[in-house]
Amino acid sequence: QVQLVQSGSELTKPGASVKVSCKASGYTFTTHAMNWVRQAPGQGLEWMGWINTNTGNPTYAQGFTGRYVFSLDTSVTTAYLQISSLKAEDTAVYYCARGHGYGDFDYWGQGTPVTVSS
């Protein structure tokens, strides 16, 4: 069965970096895009962008350029989200979500809480 298993919660300081992993299993990794979605505390869902798992080409939504990097290691069927120069407002749960069809998301990771606090 399809599974996306994300790395554990992170507690980090302003200015630091964090790298969240999303391990995929149960399907051919390179046949579905991987998306990233942010959910700030008590807030809704915000699409951050996606990465083409076949070519490795990332696309970032407006507001998620510069400090955010999507990457892959296809040898271990894992997608990564790295955020640098962390700010308090980066505190959120970050989800990976598999692309389905044209642009909806059919499987989601369990979420990785990232807390940025001094």
Partner 1 sequence: EIVLTQSPGTLSLSPGERATLSCRASQRISSTYLAWYQQRPGQAPRLLIYDASSRATGIPDRFSGSGSGTDFTLTINRLEPEDLGVYYCQQYSSSPRTFGQGTKVEIK
Chain residues that interact with partner 1, rule: CB under 8 A: 35, 37, 44-47, 49, 59, 61-62, 95, 97, 100-111
CB nearer to partner 1: give 45 or 88. Answer: 45
Going by C-alpha positions, the residue among 36, 29, 42 that lies closest to residue 82 is 36
Give CA–CA dist 9/26, Å, rounded. Answer: 24
The minimum distance between CB 13 and partner 1, in angstroms, equals 26
The minimum distance between CB 59 and partner 1, in angstroms, equals 8
Token pair, residue 73, equals 């290691």
CB nearer to partner 1: give 77 or 112. Answer: 112
CA angle, 83 then 50 then 56, to 5°: 90
